[in-house]
Amino acid sequence: MISITEIKDFFKGKIALNERLAQYTTFRIGGEADYYIEPADAEDLLNMIKYLNKRGVPFYILGNGSNLLISDEGMRGVVINLETGFGYLKHDDGYILAGAGAKMARFVDFCIQNNFSGVEMLAGIPATIGGALYMNAGAYGGEIAAYVAEVQVIRNEQIKFLSKEQCGFAYRTSKLKDSIILQGKFILPEGNPAELSRIRKEITLKRNEVQPVEIPNAGCIFKNPKDNYAAKLIEECGLKGTSIGGAMISPKHANFIVNFDKASAGDVIELIKMVRTNVKCKTGILLELEVQLLGFEENILK
Ligand SMILES: Cc1cc2nc3c(=O)[nH]c(=O)nc-3n(C[C@H](O)[C@H](O)[C@H](O)COP(=O)(O)OP(=O)(O)OC[C@H]3O[C@@H](n4cnc5c(N)ncnc54)[C@H](O)[C@@H]3O)c2cc1C
């Protein structure tokens, strides 16, 4: 484990013990982390990573927790939140620099204010830039990867710059899994702020209509299978509105599970298993998880 006295010698950020993680997720589910830290800057984070590696302490990078299901037992080791030290947005000669902890809503606003187009269709995705890059978040035909010039990461205890190609972006995934994302550099086409604001508003209204945004959830639970839609398959199996404990397949959008009444992570896992079994049985398709699991045994879905 780690020694608070040793850390205080070099760590400038915030640290908390036995921090409840549910409050950092949009699902509002999850037990405690042994340690929770918010590093002050890249040097602070790098020093901490070197310390944790030396001690063999596991760590996990948290974004906005909008694509996460955390177990009721929480997570052993350290959970790292980059919101405080990496929440910056900067505009320079023809590009935008966004810190990994900056929220998508602010990023979209900032791009529009600076006459840059392209990311307005991502409005309403409750991500941080780090989480959006890691997952290659996308909506309404667009993906964040389209505008990435380079990504700054910590990899193998070194700060590195990765080209877009090195990031290996694909549908709701990337090759950034062994990296801590620090910031993204984006090059975007010019646009008209009034028109972009109109599109952003239209997309937000559309989302509110089709997604259960008023009840805690973690976005789409499953990836869309090739040439098909997970929501359509789940709906066709008659599963909309099915509940286990406090978790329910949203009657509004079948690929969302909502935490309608103090659901445990166990309730959600049971619902996921039930959906996968039903859909596989009726269509032959095994749905692949989009939501990331944290603190569970590897074979939890078996
Ligand atoms: C209501 C709602 C609507 C949504 N709509 C969409 C949508 O339209 N399109 C879409 O693509 N997604 C959508 N999502 C899902 C989610 O917002 C995205 O997957 C998003 O990219 C996750 O970002 P996050 O910051 O919340 O990451 P988290 O959920 O906190 O983390 C996701 C993964 O990214 C990793 N990660 C986060 N930050 C870093 C970092 N700095 N370095 C390395 N790894 C990191 C985490 O370790 C984890 O594995 C929706 C979710 C909700 C709740």
Q: Both tokens of residue 224?
A: 């869309």
* Percent of the chain scoring above 70 in pLDDT: 100
Q: What is the pLDDT of residue 276?
A: 98
Mean pLDDT for all residues in the chain: 96
Ligand 1 pocket test: which of 103, 121, 134 has the largest number of ligand atoms within 8 Å of its C-beta? 134
State yes or no: pLDDT of 274 exceeds 90. yes
> Cβ < 6 Å from ligand 1: which residues?
26, 60-68, 82, 100, 125-128, 130-132, 134-135, 137-139, 172, 180-181, 211, 213, 217-219, 292
State yes or no: pLDDT of 302 exceeds 90. no
Q: How confident is the model at residue 184 (pLDDT cuts 50, 70, 90)?
A: very high
Q: What is the pLDDT of residue 5?
A: 85
Task: Report how far residue 219's alpha carbon sits from residue 172's, in angstroms, rounded to the nearest whole number.
Answer: 12
Task: Report how far residue 119's alpha carbon sits from residue 13's, in angstroms, rounded to the nearest whole number.
Answer: 31
- In 136-228, where does DSSP find H-type helix? 164-167, 193-210
pTM: 0.96
Residue range 100-117, pLDDT digits in tens: 999 999 999 999 999 999
State yes or no: pLDDT of 129 exceeds 90. yes
Domain limits, the chain? 4-81, 89-195, 214-294
Q: Which CATH number fits domain 89-195: 3.40.109.10, 3.10.129.10, 2.60.40.10, 3.30.465.10?
A: 3.30.465.10
The domain 214-294: what is its CATH number? 3.90.78.10
Task: Report how far residue 146's alpha carbon sits from residue 187's, in angstroms, rounded to the nearest whole number.
Answer: 9
Task: Report how far residue 39's alpha carbon sits from residue 45's, in angstroms, rounded to the nearest whole number.
Answer: 5
State yes or no: pLDDT of 244 exceeds 90. yes
SS3 248: strand
Q: Both tokens of residue 246?
A: 């406090």
Q: How confident is the model at residue 46 (pLDDT cuts 50, 70, 90)?
A: very high
Q: Are strands 138-139 and 75-81 parallel, antiparallel or unpaired?
A: unpaired
Residue 99 alpha carbon to ligand 1 centre in Å: 15
Q: CATH fold of 4-81, please?
A: 3.30.43
Residue range 1-10, pLDDT digits in tens: 888 888 888 9
Q: What is the pLDDT of residue 1?
A: 80
